[in-house]
Amino acid sequence: MLKTEYIQQVKEILNNLSTTVSAKIKVLLENIPTGTQQLDIVISISDELDGYFQIFASVSGQNLYILNKQIEPYSQILATEYTEIGFQPNFPMVNHNCIDFQLDNVLAEIVSTWLNKLILALDYQSIKLPIIISDDYSEFTYFTYNME
């Protein structure tokens, strides 16, 4: 699979999921517990480098365990699942040995840019805490909001 083909397919599927994921982020933001100091939205890409990923949220502050337990029902923003017929949602499954691009970097960039657009479309500025989009494999921060 060519890089441009992969990017196009992933972007198309993400765009189709925008309404659903925006609604999940909005519910998450509405349920941020008191005492939260920061919201992290994490893109977690499989070590298998086959295109599997998930997006989840966590919060930080004092009583970290208690705070994250309170948002647990809202923390899973998007989860790709393995099925007999491929991924659900239907993201392209790839063999990293058969491509000529760095899948994890490309996927993280596509997903983080898409998440950025979704968050900017929400009234994130009314939330008075830092929001950070990052990945969990390189600890790279893609976007930050409300940082003073």
Mean pLDDT by 10 residues, the chain (148 residues): 95 98 94 92 88 93 94 96 91 91 91 91 73 74 67
pTM value surpassing 0.85: yes
144 domain-assigned: no
49 domain-assigned: yes
pLDDT at 125: 65
112 domain-assigned: yes
146 domain-assigned: no
Residue 116 · residue 122 · CB < 8 Å = no
Dihedral sign, Cα of residue 74, residue 77, residue 83, residue 85: positive
131 domain-assigned: no
Tally of domains within the chain: 1
147 domain-assigned: no
132 domain-assigned: no
pLDDT at 130: 79
pLDDT at 74: 97
Residue 75, domain extent: 3-124
145 domain-assigned: no
